[in-house]
Structure 1
Amino acid sequence: MSSKMRAVLIKGGAGTADDLYVGEYDKPVPKQGEVLVKVRASGVNRLDVGQRTRGAVPLPHINKDILGVEFSGIVEGVGEGVTNYKVGDEVLSLAPGASYAEYITVRSSLVMPKPPTLSFVEAGSIPEVWFTAFQAVVLIGGIQKGQSVLIHGGASGVGVAANQLARFLGAKYVFTTAGDDEKVKFLLSIKEGPTHAINYKTQDFAEVIDQVTNGEGVDIVVDLVGKNYFDRNIKLLKVDGRLVLIAMMSGAVLSEFNCAPILYKRIRIEGSTLRTRSPQYQDDLARRFVKEILPYFSTQNGEEPRLKTYTYKTYPLEKAGEAHKDMEANKNFGKLVLVVD
C-alpha cells in the first residue's frame, strides 16, 4: 500500500485561489485514539479561504500545509485504544485541518456516525457549519422557545444551518439577511427555514424587523458582518438580548459607538470561534450534536427529514481553486463541497 496520497496544497504556503494545486503528500498514520479515514467529501468554508490567503495557522494541532476542516468518508484504519469505530464504518467529522486530501487522521472522540440516508456529499458539509451554528444559537445565544432571532449571512453554510436550528427549536420569528432575491427565495423555501428573509441591498433589515415585531426587536442576533451592522444589531436587541459575533466580514474597528444601550438593555455581546477551542470542548460538542441534532437529518417513518444540508455545487479536488473563487464571489447559497474519488 502506498505511503503517499493526493492532497490540495498551496504554492509557497499562501496565495490566491490559483495557487491551489493537487500534489503528493505523506499519507497519515493513525496514532493512539485516532482513526484513519478515506475521505469521500470535504466541505469548503470561508475559514479555508482565510488560511489560504494568510498562510500557516499558528496553532500546534492545525495542519499547516493542507486546508479543510470537515469531511465524510470510510474508516480505513484505527489506532491503539479505539473501540468505537472499525474499518468500513461510514463517518463524518470536524477536522483540525487537512481534509482536502484522500486520507485524514482524526481523534475517534470527534468522529460521528454517518446517517445511512445521507450521501457522503451531504454528510461532509455538516460538521463545521452546523457545529458553529449550534454553538452560536444554542450554547451562546441560549435560544428558548418563543424567542425571536436575527441571522445575518443567511445563505451561507452557517446561515442556512442557524436558520434551521432557530426554527427547529421553536423560535417565534427567524429573520435572516441575504444579498439578492434568488437567495431570499431559496431561504424561504427551506422546510425549517426563516420566517422572514430580507434582501439587505434593497431593504433596511432594521426597519423590516421593527415593523414585523411592532418595535419589540429580537432576543438573539447571530452576526458575521461586524462593523457595518453593529449599530443596527444593538438597536434591534431586546432587554437581555444576546449578540453573537462569529465573523467580521465588513471590518472589526468601530469609529464611533454609543455604548448606552448595552448598559440599559443589559445586552450580552460574545465572540465565538470553533477552531481554537480545546479538543475536549469540540469532543463534547460532537457528542451533544449527535444526541440532539444529527438524528433529525435522517428520514423517519417515511417522512422528509426535519433538518437538511443544502449543497450548492460540488468540485473534484483538482477544482479546489474554482470552489474558493465561487466562495470569494459570494455565489453560493448552501455548501460548496469537494468530492474525493
Structure 2
Amino acid sequence: MAAHTERCKQIVFEQAGGPEVLTIAYAALPSVGSEQVLIKVNYAGVNGPDIAQRKGMYPPPPDASEILGLEVSGTIVAVGESVTQWQVGDVVCALVPGGGYSEYVVTWGCHCLPIPSGLTLAQAAALPETFFTVWGHLFMRGGLKAGETVLIHGGSGGIGSAAIALAKLFGVTVVATSGSQDKCDYCKQLGADHAFNYRDEDLLEQILAVAPQGVDVVLDMASGDLVNLNLKALALEGRLVTIALLRGPTASVDVFRLMSKRITWTGATLRPQSVEAKALIAKRLLEEVWPLFLQGKREKLVPHIFAKFSLDKVSEAHRLMESGKHKGKIVLKVAGEDAT
C-alpha cells in the first residue's frame, strides 16, 4: 500500500446549525483498511443527508466519518492488501461512508465504480449517492419493472432526476411531482410522461386522470401529509417506497386503505446499510446500468450539474440546496481539472 504523509483539507462543524457553521480544517490522512482504498478527491456531491447531518438530524453511523459527503470522484492513491479490483492511479466515482468533503477520503473497494466514458469528473461525482439510492430502493426494494407506472415525488432534485432517467430507460411510465411549473417542465425534459405541481389542491385528481387504475410504485421523499395521497394514488398490490421525510416523520395513516388495496409499504436509508448490501447495489449497477452509458443512452443518464462550488464556498452550496431553487445536482470542486 502506498504511503502518504500529507495533511488534508476538509470541511468540519463543531455544533449543529445553519450553513454558517461549516468551516475548513486540516487533519491527517485517514488510514486504509485491508479492503479499502484511499481516494484523492476531485469533486464531491452535495446531498440532502449532508444538510440533515449538519442540522444534527442525521448522525453518522458509529463506524463512519463525521465529515460530510457521501459521494466523490477522484483518483485512487492507496489500496488495502485485500483489494484486487483496483490499482493506484485508477480514476473512479465512489459511494463513501462520510468524509467526501475532504481532499482525501477512504471507502470500500467494492463501493467504487469506473467513470463512464465521456463523463466529466464533476458529472461522475454526482452519480453514486443518487444511483445507489434509486437502484437499491426503487428497483431492488420496490421491484419496479418495465410496463409499470411510477409516481416520483420531488422529480427535479438529484434523486428524482436519476429516478426519472432510469425508470424511462427501463420501460416505465413516469408521473413526477415538483414545486413549480418550471420544475415540472424540467421533469418532462428529463423524460417524465407527466409532471404536476405538488402544491396543487387537485394533485390526486391529476395523477388519477393519467393513471386511472393507480400507479404501481410510489417513490416517496416527502412522507408526512402526503402518505394518504400516496395510498390513494396506488393501484391494487401497489408498492410505497419511502426514502426521505421532507414533509415530516409522522402521519395519520388510513390503514384500511392500505389493507384493502394490499399495498406493500417499505422504506430505507442508504447510509446505514451494510458494506455487503451496498456492494450488491454497486454490482447490479455495473451489470445493468453502466452498460447503458455505452449504448447510445449516455445523454439520458448524465446528471445535470446545476452548480459547482469550491470547497471554501461550501456554505453557499448548502444554502442553495436548502433553498430548493436548484434543478439537478450541486457539487463541490475539491481539486484538479473538470475533465476525465
Bucket of the pairwise TM-score, normalised by the shorter protein: over 0.9
Secondary structure of the 2:315 match is helix
Seen in structure 2, the aligned counterparts of structure 1 residues 36 and 56 have a Cα distance that, compared at 3 Å, is same
Matched, 1:141 2:142: yes
**Number of matched residues?**
332
1:27 CA displacement: 1.2
1:198 CA displacement: 0.9
Q: Deviations over 1:20-60 (max 9, x none)?
A: 11211111232212111110010000100111110782522
Seen in structure 2, the aligned counterparts of structure 1 residues 225 and 21 have a Cα distance that, compared at 3 Å, is same
Matching residue of 2:195: 197
1:206 CA displacement: 1.1
Between the two proteins, what is the percent identity of the paired residues? Answer: 35
Seen in structure 2, the aligned counterparts of structure 1 residues 170 and 68 have a Cα distance that, compared at 3 Å, is same
Matched, 1:323 2:291: no
Matching residue of 1:159: 160
Matching residue of 2:306: 312
Map of 1:35-184 to 2, 5 A cutoff?
A: 35-54=37-56, 57=59, 59-64=61-66, 66-171=67-172, 173-184=173-184
Q: Structure 2: which amino acid aligns with 1:98?
A: G
For the 8 Å contact 1:8–1:21, the answer to whether it is kept is: yes
For the 8 Å contact 1:296–1:306, the answer to whether it is kept is: no
Matching residue of 1:333: 327
- Which among 226, 238, 243 is matched to residue 240 of structure 2? 243
For the 8 Å contact 1:36–1:103, the answer to whether it is kept is: yes
Secondary structure of the 2:168 match is helix
CA distance in 1, matches of 2:88, 2:145: 41
Q: Deviations over 1:80-130 (max 9, x none)?
A: 122211121110110000010101111211111112311110000011111
Matching residue of 1:282: 278
1:308 CA displacement: 2.1
For the 8 Å contact 1:137–1:166, the answer to whether it is kept is: no
- Structure 1 ranges of 4+ moved more than 4 A: none
1:279 CA displacement: 0.6
CA distance in 2, matches of 1:203, 1:286: 40
Matching residue of 1:227: 224
Secondary structure of the 1:240 match is strand
CA distance in 1, matches of 2:137, 2:35: 29
Secondary structure of the 1:54 match is coil
**TM superposition score normalised by structure 1:** 0.93
CA distance in 1, matches of 2:200, 2:259: 32
Secondary structure of the 1:14 match is coil
Matching residue of 2:36: 34
Secondary structure of the 2:55 match is helix
Matching residue of 1:211: 209
For the 8 Å contact 1:7–1:22, the answer to whether it is kept is: yes
- Which among 259, 262, 268 is matched to residue 263 of structure 1? 259
CA distance in 1, matches of 2:205, 2:313: 41
Seen in structure 2, the aligned counterparts of structure 1 residues 56 and 209 have a Cα distance that, compared at 3 Å, is closer
Secondary structure of the 1:25 match is strand
Higher mean alpha-carbon deviation, 305-314 vs 232-241, is at 305-314
- Which among 3, 6, 10 is matched to residue 3 of structure 1? 6
Q: Deviations over 1:243-287 (max 9, x none)?
A: 000011111222x43311111110000011111101110111111
Unaligned runs of 5+ residues in structure 1 are: none
Unaligned runs of 5+ residues in structure 2 are: 336-340
1:163 CA displacement: 1.1
For the 8 Å contact 1:36–1:76, the answer to whether it is kept is: yes
**TM superposition score normalised by structure 2:** 0.93
Q: Deviations over 1:288-328 (max 9, x none)?
A: 11111122234x46x75442211110000001111111111
For the 8 Å contact 1:296–1:305, the answer to whether it is kept is: no
Q: Deviations over 1:173-195 (max 9, x none)?
A: 210001112111211112xx210
Seen in structure 2, the aligned counterparts of structure 1 residues 305 and 295 have a Cα distance that, compared at 3 Å, is farther
CA distance in 2, matches of 1:204, 1:44: 33
Q: Structure 2: which amino acid aligns with 1:124?
A: A
Q: Structure 2: which amino acid aligns with 1:23?
A: A
For the 8 Å contact 1:154–1:163, the answer to whether it is kept is: yes
